[in-house]
Chain A
Amino acid sequence: MKKTALFLGVSVIVAGCASVATGPQAIDWNKIPATKVALFYPGQSSYQWLRSEAHAGAAKETARGDSCTSCHDDPKEEQRQGAKILRGNHPLEPHAAALKGKNGHIDMTVQAAYDDKNAYLRFQYKTHNPNHPGNDYPGYRFDGKEWKAYGGMRLNKNVLAGKTGIVYENRLNIMLDDGKVPGFAQQGCWLTCHDGERDMQKEASKAEVEANALLKAIKKSDVRKYIPASRSDPMDWKTGKPLDEIAKLKASGQFLELMQWRAHRSDKVGGADDGYVLEYRNFDKGSNHFASNMDGKTKQPKFMFDPAKFGAKAFAASDYGGKKELILVKGVNAVPFDPNAGWKEGDILPQYVLSAADAKGSAADNKAVSSWKDGVQTVVFIRPLGLANDDDKALKPGGVYNVGFAIHDDNMTGRGHHVSYTKTLGIGAKADITAVKLN
């Protein structure tokens, strides 16, 4: 299995570790134990649904905090649940018809290691599409006059209506708790999934969002993941607590770490997002590995492709799903947008431009390397140990953490992912997934 061993050029990839071995450091993953984790398609199984009579025989137990796996513990449970939800008649997936053929579950392996500087988390799974790495992303399409958003995930309203193409990037996500978020060890990611969020039941309307004190205070235009403690009534997204109380929760560690590797928006620059979930799905302070490619004033893209590098200044909708990588990277294949370059109807430019150098601050803590070969996606997250930012969970040798995983696969975002029940991750300590100390 030599070919799948991933060699990490740590001195190149990880910022600020001049003290680490100078040459590329190799981890022989063949020597690190692999834990199997199954993820399933959860549909709209929100915090509220799980506590309703529709979760027959389990509403009361879930509300009192029982762990999901106290009941959902069959060896094939995830496989069964995902297939059932996608079968076509399950209330948790109203769009099952549009998802015909979708896989209900994903089998993933997880390996973990650490050294004095970093934790390394390695994941492998098969992408549903064996012929494409899922690194395309919606673009801005020139319609002869204006640049308009093109493409969306499978559950996008315009996609369902047949008005735009199916395009979205794959993602691998880790949610992590250090024991400070009540209930996460038992119920994991499902603590953060609520009615009112995007594409969920009772999705919040624009007017409802605008009328909401918390969302107004944090300047957001939709409802996203939140932990129960951020609401005075966790069953109702509208009951957000005042900002000073949210700040107190954060200071006491009541938030979840959220790391996301993105096949389009972070992979090419060796990054992974660093975010956290509290009253919203937030990014950490600083700048991400990706930035918008739309100039708000001119309503035109900021960058286009360098024809000398990319072969053209833009691409067309028919290029999606093909062999060419449609990713715009500063310092590699991006040049400033030229409004007089002779744009034709149908030209498409990426919605985001990537830059390793622009990623800064706490948002830039996580790095990642990946490969996609023969339909198998491999991702290694590199997370510095002992982070001290107020929006990070510090990983420490000897520590045991609760983790939940999610995969956005085959043109999905938002709720359209596969999700795992909680596992424990030990940094050199015994857990479901134990990170092995490297010499």
Chain B
Amino acid sequence: MNIRTLIVSAAIGGLCLSAPAFAQVDAEEIFKENDCHKCHHPTKAKKGPSLAKIAAKYKEKKLDEKEAIKHMTAGKKVELDDGTKEDHKIIDTKDVAVQTAVAKWMLNR
């Protein structure tokens, strides 16, 4: 767990009485701090699908952030364009509130 996550968690801890936890999280910042943006561009296909494409797929298949969280926490094998497989990146936090915020942010692109 890095320092930023600690700070985020601390902030959530202090504020959870007055607001839903994820509202306090800068999801975009966490997404980028975790290098997710290096493979997931807002609109362009990079190594991973674009955020627009992921959001559209989830909408079409009626999937929600719980499914997205699986992808960022399970370290499952992902299949690449060239047919090879590699382990997906695992997000640097076990805080479900933060994971949910990131997933919601992704799916709202």
Q: Which residue of A lies closest to B2 (CB)?
A: A89
A374-432 CB contacts (< 8 Å) to partner B: none
Instruction: Verify A73–B47 contact, CB threshold 8 A.
Output: no
Q: Which residue of B lies closest to A88 (CB)?
A: B3
> Which of B33, B39, B47 has most A Cβ within 10 Å?
B47
Residues of chain A lying within 8 A (CB to CB) of residue B67: none
CB of A163 closer than 8 Å to a CB of B: no
Shortest C-beta distance, A244 to chain B (Å), equals 38
User: In the complex, given contacts A56-B35, A57-B39, what are 4 additional A-B residue pairs having Cβ atoms less than 8 angstroms apart?
Assistant: A57-B38, A57-B47, A58-B47, A61-B47
Shortest C-beta distance, B6 to chain A (Å), equals 13
Q: Which residue of A lies closest to B4 (CB)?
A: A87
Partner of B41, one of A58, A60, A61, A73: A73
Q: Which residue of B lies closest to A76 (CB)?
A: B32
A69-84 CB contacts (< 8 Å) to partner B: 70-74, 80
Q: Mark A181-194, 1 if CB is under 8 A from B, else 0.
A: 00000000000000
CB of B89 closer than 8 Å to a CB of A: yes
CB of B46 closer than 8 Å to a CB of A: yes
Interface residues on B, range: 10 to 19
Partner of A57, one of B32, B33, B86: B86
Residues of chain B lying within 8 A (CB to CB) of residue A57: 35, 38-39, 47, 86, 89
Instruction: Verify A71–B89 contact, CB threshold 8 A.
Output: no
Q: How distant is the Cα of A73 from the Cα of B37 in the complex, in angstroms?
A: 9
Shortest C-beta distance, A76 to chain B (Å), equals 8
| Chain B contact residues, CB within 8 Å of chain A | 2, 32-33, 35, 37-39, 41, 46-47, 84, 86, 89
Interface residues on A, range: 10 to 19
Shortest C-beta distance, A320 to chain B (Å), equals 35
Instruction: Verify A74–B32 contact, CB threshold 8 A.
Output: yes
Instruction: Verify B46–A71 contact, CB threshold 8 A.
Output: yes
Partner of A74, one of B37, B84, B89: B37
Residues of chain B lying within 8 A (CB to CB) of residue A70: 46
Q: Which residue of B lies closest to A89 (CB)?
A: B2
Instruction: Verify B32–A80 contact, CB threshold 8 A.
Output: yes
Residues of chain A lying within 8 A (CB to CB) of residue B32: 74, 80
Partner of A56, one of B33, B41, B46, B89: B89
A39-66 CB contacts (< 8 Å) to partner B: 56-58, 60-61
Residues of chain A lying within 8 A (CB to CB) of residue B38: 57-58, 71-72, 74
Residues of chain A lying within 8 A (CB to CB) of residue B39: 57, 71
Residues of chain A lying within 8 A (CB to CB) of residue B37: 74
Residues of chain B lying within 8 A (CB to CB) of residue A74: 32, 37-38
17 contacts between A and B (CB under 8 A): A56-B35, A56-B89, A57-B47, A57-B86, A57-B89, A61-B47, A70-B46, A71-B38, A71-B39, A71-B46, A71-B47, A72-B38, A73-B41, A74-B37, A74-B38, A80-B32, A89-B2
Q: How distant is the Cα of A80 from the Cα of B36 in the complex, in angstroms?
A: 13
Shortest C-beta distance, B13 to chain A (Å), equals 23
Shortest C-beta distance, B1 to chain A (Å), equals 12
Q: How distant is the Cα of A172 from the Cα of B32 in the complex, in angstroms?
A: 30
Q: Which residue of A lies closest to B80 (CB)?
A: A60
Shortest C-beta distance, B79 to chain A (Å), equals 14
Shortest C-beta distance, B102 to chain A (Å), equals 16
Name the 4 nearest CB pairs between A and B, nearest first. Answer: A71-B38, A74-B37, A71-B46, A57-B89
Residues of chain A lying within 8 A (CB to CB) of residue B46: 70-71
A3-24 CB contacts (< 8 Å) to partner B: none
> Which of B35, B38, B86 has most A Cβ within 10 Å?
B38
Shortest C-beta distance, B84 to chain A (Å), equals 8
Shortest C-beta distance, A63 to chain B (Å), equals 13
Shortest C-beta distance, A42 to chain B (Å), equals 16
Q: Which residue of B lies closest to A80 (CB)?
A: B32
Q: How distant is the Cα of A131 from the Cα of B32 in the complex, in angstroms?
A: 34
Q: How distant is the Cα of A72 from the Cα of B89 in the complex, in angstroms?
A: 16
Shortest C-beta distance, B52 to chain A (Å), equals 16
Q: How distant is the Cα of A89 from the Cα of B41 in the complex, in angstroms?
A: 27
Residues of chain B lying within 8 A (CB to CB) of residue A58: 38, 47
> Which of A56, A57, A61 has most B Cβ within 10 Å?
A57
> Which of B2, B37, B41 has most A Cβ within 10 Å?
B37
Q: Which residue of B lies closest to A84 (CB)?
A: B33
